[in-house]
Amino acid sequence: MRIEDRENIELVERMVQAHSYWRMKGLAVDLVIWNEDRSVYRDIMSEKINGLITATAGGVSNQSGGIFLRRADQMSEEDKILIQTVSRIIITDKGGTLAEQIEFVAQPKSQRPLLPVRKYGQERTDEGIPERSDLAYFNGFGGFTRDGREYVINTVRSKATPAPWVNVLANRNFGTVISESGRPTPGAKTRMSFV
């Protein structure tokens, strides 16, 4: 919970109440409250928050499953990054009501595919890469020549490799990268020799 404006103290009160409820139900949750108030002379905000913790949570603070009150200006950047990294949720007094912030977090996020799949036009099931009996370990796209010195990739316009396919060619005097799309024309064979 990050709070800067004293006018939003009710948000902290709600979080402290929620923490008390979770403890009552046996759910151990660490609640870290960052006081981002910039007042230097007297820390009125911390006094108010400490009063809420004592009144609502029974003074359960600074222990596992408790409430931790910290001044943001007394925390190192490394500690701030660590706490934000391990937090399940971050509530801020600048993010709207508690309900709005929880609703935003609860919305399912769309999953991106791990690897992009490229399609060249409409795939036709009748056209594919013919089986290559002359290649060892043929996997539907390519395989090794019988002597094991070359790897051959065969593609056709309607069936590209399932993901970007990149090979590194290197020895002591030479190095390059070649991909399945690095061929001069669609349907051409890409051959690599291993020395």
How do the domains of the chain map onto residue ranges?
2-103, 135-193
Specify whether the CB–CB gap between 68 and 33 falls below 8 A. Answer: yes
> For residue 193, what are the β-bridge partners?
150
Secondary-structure percent of the chain, ordered helix, strand, coil, rounded to 5: 30, 20, 50
Work out the pLDDT band at 183, boundaries 50, 70, 90.
Answer: very low
Instruction: Report the share of the chain in percent with pLDDT over 70.
Output: 76
Residues ≥6 apart with Cβ < 8 Å to 23: 29, 57, 60, 65
List pLDDT tens digits, range 36-82. 887 766 678 888 888 888 887 666 677 888 899 888 888 899 998 89
CB neighbours of residue 157 within 10 Å: 13
pLDDT for the residue numbered 32: 92
CA gap 181, 179 in Å, rounded? 5
